[in-house]
Each structure stands twice: as C-alpha cells, then as structure tokens.
C-alpha cells in the first residue's frame, strides 16, 4: 500500500516563507527542503505539497527548496512521480516544475567529480 | 396567418432577442476587461516602484519584501480573470516572468543584500516583465474583439469576469 504525506507550507512550516539559504532567515528554502521535503521523500511514496495559505513566495525560496532537491541527489523522474502540488495559483506549480527540470539539466551538464 | 408564418415570426423574435442579449454580454465583458486592464496597470506600477525601492535600498527590508510577495500573489489572482481570453499557460508565463524578475536575485537575503544601481540588469528585467504583463492584459481587449463572432455564437459562455 502506498503511503502519502501531506505538507501544508503555511500550517506546517510558515505563513511567511522567505529566502534561499539558512543564513537568510528562519524559514528559507533550504530549511524547508532539509527539514520537510527530504525526510518526507525518503519516507513516503507520495508527497503532496499544499502551497495555499502563505503570504506569497519568492522565486529564490522556490528554487532552493525544489531545484535544490536535484542538487541534493534526487532524480528528476522520481521527483515527478512522488511530488504532487495543490495550489490555487498554478503559476507556482509550473515555476517549481521548471526549477526541478533546470536543476536536472544543470546537473547533467556538470562535469563528473 | 398560417402556422408556418407564426413559426417564422417567433423564430425571428427569438433570434432578435438572442442577438441583443449576446451583444449586451460582449459589451459587458469588454467593459470588464477595460477595468481589469486599468487595475493591473495600477497594481503593476505600484509593484515596480516597490521592487525598485527594495533593490536600490542599501539594506534588506523585511516589510517591503513581504509587501512585494503579497502584491505578486494578488496580481496573479487578478490575472486569472483573463482566462476566457487567454490560456492558463499564457497567463502563468507572465506571472512567472514577473515573479522571477523581482524575487529570484538579491531578494530576501539580509546578509547578502546589494544596493543595485538603476542600470542594473535586475531592474531592467523588472521593467521588461512589468511592461510585458501590462501589454498582455491591455491586448486582451483586442483579442476579444477578434473573436467577437465566436463569442456571439457561444453566447459568451464561460464568462468569468
């Protein structure tokens, strides 16, 4: 049986998500990725992110939280399969998907260590 | 008067009513579009000013950054009303461009905040994205005019404005 985790950004994380790196504040994209997204992706088959309810998102937060998953080693296809979004503003979902794809492209182009 | 004549008379009455109703609906719709365009122009202009103030300030401003994100959210909601004219994808493209232009670089980072010069590419991108969005919304009025006969046939169904 598949397991599902629902993360409501406003309720579970913050109504005021802001910033890219941990140095930028208490509710940044890096915090969200490391404290919520990665543990949920490692434990559950499907992760639903509810984006409504916050006071808006900056692209820096979105890119670091979701594009950063690819840089952290998650496969794009796996993310497409596992990550699901619920949002009134569908431009947010499109933007997140683009960040994941862009990060995957950059990851593929980067030289092997 | 024969039965056929009666039928023709009634059909003409119904067709006349239908055309008047459709014209009224289209007129209302176009008037809503004009209002929407004015509202978007004003909101986008406010947003551009706030973005300029934020990026040209010597320090990160938490309150202003919150305002900018809220305004972007409101502007996105406002643009949803264009869905009878444009596809969701077309609308989203402009919203994403504007959000990226304002909030992807030098944003929400108190430690690394830079005071940008007025000629900085970040500010140029904000100008371009704002102008594109306003032009896109203003253009909806003419797009609706071009599709006028189709709207007439469909009795302006799915009207959301």
C-beta of residue B101 within 8 angstroms of C-beta of residue B125: yes
- CB–CB contacts below 8 A, A to B: 76
How many CB atoms lie under 10 A from the CB of residue B148? Answer: 13
Residue A107, pLDDT score: 80
- Give the tens place of pLDDT for each residue, B111-137: 999 999 999 999 999 999 999 999 999
| Euclidean distance between the first and the last CA atom of chain A, given in angstroms as a whole number | 38
Nearest CA in chain B to A96: B96
B87 touches chain A (CB under 8 A): no
Rounded to an integer, what distance in angstroms lies between the CA atom of residue B114 and that of residue B17?
Answer: 63
C-beta of residue B41 within 8 angstroms of C-beta of residue B137: yes
DSSP type of residue A4? E
Helix B121-146 to helix B62-79 angle (10° resolution) is: 20
Q: B73 to chain A nearest CA, in Å? A: 6
Mean pLDDT of A18-39: 96
Residue B160 — very low, low, confident or very high, per pLDDT cuts 50/70/90? very low
Q: For residue A87, what are the CA distances in angstroms to A49, A109, B131, B159?
A: 9, 31, 26, 22
Rounded to an integer, what distance in angstroms lies between the CA atom of residue B75 and that of residue A40?
Answer: 32
Rounded to an integer, what distance in angstroms lies between the CA atom of residue B144 and that of residue B159?
Answer: 12
Can you list the alpha helix ranges (DSSP code H) found in B57-120?
62-79, 88-103
Q: Which residue in the set A20, A59, A89 is minimally distant from B100, CB to CB?
A: A59
A47: phi then psi, degrees, rounded to nearest 5: -120, 120
Mean pLDDT of B58-86: 93
DSSP helix/strand/coil, A8: strand
**Is a pLDDT exceeding 60 seen at residue A28?**
yes
Nearest CA in chain B to A54: B70
B43 touches chain A (CB under 8 A): no
pTM of the model: 0.86
DSSP-derived pairing of the beta strands A83-86 and A46-50: parallel
DSSP helix/strand/coil, A46: strand
**Is a pLDDT exceeding 80 seen at residue B73?**
yes
Residue B158, pLDDT score: 47
Q: Give me the percent of chain B exceeding a pLDDT of 70.
A: 88
Rounded to an integer, what distance in angstroms lies between the CA atom of residue A96 and that of residue A70?
Answer: 12
Quick one: which of A103, A23, A111 has its CA closest to A62?
A103
């Amino acid at each position: 049986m598949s397991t599902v985790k629902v993360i409501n950004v406003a309720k579970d994380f913050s109504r005021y998500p802001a910033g890219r790196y941990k140095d930028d504040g208490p509710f940044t994209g890096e915090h969200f990725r490391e404290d919520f997204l990665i543990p949920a992706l490692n434990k559950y088959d499907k992760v639903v992110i509810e984006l409504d309810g916050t006071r808006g998102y900056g692209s820096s937060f979105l890119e670091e939280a979701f594009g950063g998953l690819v840089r952290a080693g998650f496969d794009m296809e796996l993310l497409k399969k596992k990550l699901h979004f619920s949002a009134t503003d569908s431009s947010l979902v499109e933007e997140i998907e683009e960040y994941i794809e862009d990060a995957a492209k950059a990851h593929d182009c980067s030289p092997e260590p | 008067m024969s039965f056929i004549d009666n039928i023709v008379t009634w059909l003409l009455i119904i067709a006349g009513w239908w055309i008047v109703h459709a014209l009224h609906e289209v007129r209302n719709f176009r008037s809503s579009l004009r209002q929407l365009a004015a509202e978007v122009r004003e909101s986008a202009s406010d947003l551009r000013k706030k973005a300029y103030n934020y990026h040209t300030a010597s320090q990160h401003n938490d309150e202003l950054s919150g305002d900018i994100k809220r305004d972007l959210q409101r502007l996105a909601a406002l643009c949803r009303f264009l869905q009878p004219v444009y596809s969701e994808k077309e609308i989203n493209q402009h919203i994403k461009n504007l959000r990226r232009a304002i909030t992807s670089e030098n944003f929400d980072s108190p430690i690394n905040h830079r005071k940008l010069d007025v000629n900085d590419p970040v500010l140029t991108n904000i100008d371009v994205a704002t102008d594109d969005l306003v032009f896109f919304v203003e253009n909806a009025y003419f797009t609706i005019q071009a599709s006028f006969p189709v709207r007439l046939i469909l009795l302006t169904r799915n009207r959301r404005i």
